[in-house]
Amino acid sequence: MDNKTLFRPGHTACAGCGQVIAARLVIDAAGSNTIVVNNTGCLEVLSTRYPETAWSVPWIHSLFENAAAVASGVEAALIYLGKKDKINVIAQGGDGGTADIGLQALSGMLERGHDILYVCYDNEAYMNTGVQRSGLTPFSTNTTTSPAGSQSLGNIRPKKPLPEIAFAHGIPYVATATVGFIPDLQRKVKKAISIKGPKYIQIHVPCPLGWRHEPENTIQVGKAAVETGLYPIIEYENGKLAAVRKITPQPVEEYLKLQGRFKHLLKNPGQLKKIQEIADNNILKYGLKAEP
């Protein structure tokens, strides 16, 4: 059994970084016959600072928003060479590079039906540039461009429903996952790789620095997001919602209190109620509640 990981240590991620846990699990599940196209972001910067590279697979970084488009070109080249059946193509990036600046390229890639797995590492802000608000920043989060202050309770908008946007393109497989539940994540990557066509997986990755929690709590925070209903773990397959991870819903405070980025809310019952509504709507919409 090959013990060697394809995403090697010696990179400069923060201690306890959720994104590199996920990135390593993704590439190890995909295997060495994989070409990775990476957007600009934490993952790219921390893993490929010349002359060091953490990647044992062919890997390319171009710009912030075009991983999906570059990957489309790589896939086209592999088809031309008659090699696509043997080689996986993964395009990946953070929530910034995927949901905002990269949305156009992602949409084009999904619409054209390329055989590519797109992985979005969702740490809910532009972390690499200093924790600024993104389209996937949750409601009422304190970020550096949506800070809490005397006139504001943080981000005023809900998360962009990117899994649904991907699903609306009619692609064969869409899933959300989290580093809070690792075997589920590994299973989903393996399944996605085995399907032909465009696939989208969005992985919730806690960020100790940006979310303000201890490095050792990364997994606990990830689990709490799911168990409160704030981050539904779902799978869309064959044109419909195929599976969800059932939960025994916890009150949203159990998740929010673990992170400094929500500290301003803990004494604000009105705002907490709004967030609880978001969680309750998710639970209803996806049928997350486990039957007794």
Binding of residue 92 to another protein (CB under 8 A) = no
Name the one range near another protein by CB under 8 A: 72-80, 130-138, 261-269, 273-281. 72-80
Between 72 and 140, CB nearer to another protein:
72
Binding of residue 79 to another protein (CB under 8 A) = yes
Considering only 26, 65, 154, 229, the residue that binds another protein (CB under 8 A) is 65
Binding of residue 15 to another protein (CB under 8 A) = yes
Contact between 112 and 91 under an 8 Å Cβ cutoff? The reply is no
Between 76 and 266, CB nearer to another protein:
76
Interface size with another protein, residues (CB under 8 A): 71
Cα 92 to Cα 71: distance, rounded to the nearest angstrom: 9
Between 12 and 281, CB nearer to another protein:
12
Name the one range near another protein by CB under 8 A: 10-18, 118-126, 237-245, 269-277. 10-18
Q: DSSP string spanning 188-248?
A: HHHHHHHS-S-EEEEEE---HHHHT--GGGHHHHHHHHHHTTSS--EEEETTEEEEE--B-
Report 181-240 residues binding another protein (CB under 8 A). 182, 186, 214-216, 218-220
Between 170 and 239, CB nearer to another protein:
170
Q: Are strands 34-38 and 148-149 parallel, antiparallel or unpaired?
A: unpaired
Between 44 and 227, CB nearer to another protein:
44
Considering only 41, 42, 66, 283, the residue that binds another protein (CB under 8 A) is 66
Contact between 283 and 289 under an 8 Å Cβ cutoff? The reply is yes
Q: Are strands 117-122 and 88-94 parallel, antiparallel or unpaired?
A: parallel
Binding of residue 20 to another protein (CB under 8 A) = yes
Contacts of 65 (CB under 8 A, 6+ apart): 39, 97, 101, 102, 104, 105
Instruction: Identify the residue whose tokens are 């002359």.
Output: 51
Q: How far is the CB of 13 from another protein (least distance, A)?
A: 6
Report 27-46 residues binding another protein (CB under 8 A). 32-35, 37, 44-45
Between 154 and 208, CB nearer to another protein:
208
Binding of residue 272 to another protein (CB under 8 A) = no
Report 97-126 residues binding another protein (CB under 8 A). 104-105, 107-108, 111-112
Name the one range near another protein by CB under 8 A: 53-61, 118-126, 137-145, 282-290. 53-61
Considering only 5, 144, 152, 194, the residue that binds another protein (CB under 8 A) is 5
Give buried/exposed letters for 179-215 (b at 16+ CB in 10 A, else e). bbbeebbeebbebbbeeeebbbbbbbbbbbbbbebee
CA nearest to 23, candidates 136, 165, 189: 189
For the record, the structure tokens of 107 come out as 């949409």
Considering only 55, 172, 195, 268, the residue that binds another protein (CB under 8 A) is 55
Considering only 26, 43, 70, 90, the residue that binds another protein (CB under 8 A) is 70
CA nearest to 254, candidates 272, 277, 274: 272
| Helix (H) or strand (E) run with residue 32 in it | none
Instruction: Identify the residue whose tokens are 């740490």.
Output: 123
